[in-house]
Structure 1
């Protein structure tokens, strides 16, 4: 009879982590879409909430030679964002909330003006953005327009963001919004004139998804001339 104590396992790999996930070190191992990339190994670095991995790949360069590369990826799931607009009054609806990563990297107070947004979790993109719009702004929107999808930081973050737009007015407001207190959200709702919002890009508005939706709205969206 062996006196060896069995291994308790590694959270996120062979036993559930705090979100109930296992097999997080298997993601990417079955990729075959690019013949110039061969995934050799995946190591889980952290799954405290989101997932940080380092992946070893063989990569064939354009001149034909192969090299071994190590790529770190941060997986927070996919998300959705929406521009709420009132065409008659030429206004758009934003949220303002504290973002620590921005605060620690140069934002004076960490409070950013943004379009409503959130992670998909287990929902499809349209269902998720309807949920987030109501939770954050209090507006229960009707028909939504899917605008485009984009990778927001493809050098290190896996997230694909789904962009939407929808009209709002007094009839679509069903609550005060402000986010979910149980999730620690403390969200202020801010309504701006559309032209003032455009002029604020690069000063008061420095969030990438918000800038992208404002420029879309001006170039080919509801406020295009």
Structure 2
């Protein structure tokens, strides 16, 4: 174990042993983990892992990869099949702003980290906090690794129908967490056009909208269980 913050020394959140993650992995006989280092002292965990990997030619090589561990998350597309609308959010995202987005204000499906909850509980919480919607029956769409080259997060995708009576809260996010979220209720056809013209550039949102288009759920052609 390395003598660093988050390993043998507490990090800024009082955590230790963060360098143990991944050391015991043995599901792939062609990968042997040799060392794990904690390389940041932030809210989430950045690790540098050294491992041996056997290539398709049978030769072993030693590689290093950095992984950013922010926990797993969930996202949801809320749609009204009667009025053919979807509920989305708009909020400032600095990482997008610093990487050439015009103003950093991204249109997205509601989402959040699981924070020790199961995915269904977490997404119901997030829909309430961000959109003010009390979600009824949920459909699990799929799970996906959104940036598997460096980020460990697995995102759980959901969809659910809503109607105006389900909008029981004010939404807007949790102010104490610095959230300032605008709620957008859009015609589904407009949301799809926003993908084409670049007004929607968030990956998870594009995936959910395209899934809905393929399934025909917003138009009521393919009722979900």
TM over 0.5: yes
Please give the alpha-carbon distance, in whole angstroms, between the structure 2 residues aligned to 1:221 and 1:46.
45
Answer yes or no: is 1:189 the counterpart of 2:187. Answer: no
Question: Where does residue 45 of structure 1 map in the other structure?
Answer: 39
Answer yes or no: is 1:214 the counterpart of 2:214. Answer: no
Over alpha carbons, which structure has the higher Rg? 1
Answer yes or no: is 1:25 the counterpart of 2:24. Answer: no
**Superposition map of 1:9-158 within 5 A:** 10-158=4-152
Question: Where does residue 200 of structure 2 map in the other structure?
Answer: 205
**Residue 137 of structure 1: how far off its partner (Å):** 0.4
| Aligned positions, number | 217
TM-score, length-scaled by structure 1: 0.93
Identify unmatched segments of 5+ residues in structure 2: none
Give a deviation string over 1:34-61, Cα, whole Å, max 9, x none. Answer: 0110000001001310100100010100
Contact 2:89 2:184 in 1 (8 A): yes
Answer yes or no: is 1:175 the counterpart of 2:169. Answer: yes
Please give the alpha-carbon distance, in whole angstroms, between the structure 1 residues aligned to 2:25 and 2:64.
16
Please give the alpha-carbon distance, in whole angstroms, between the structure 2 residues aligned to 1:23 and 1:66.
29
Please give the alpha-carbon distance, in whole angstroms, between the structure 1 residues aligned to 2:52 and 2:129.
44
TM-score, length-scaled by structure 2: 0.93
For the aligned residues, what is the CA RMSD?
Answer: 1.2
Name the SS for the 1:25 alignment partner.
helix
Identify unmatched segments of 5+ residues in structure 1: 1-8
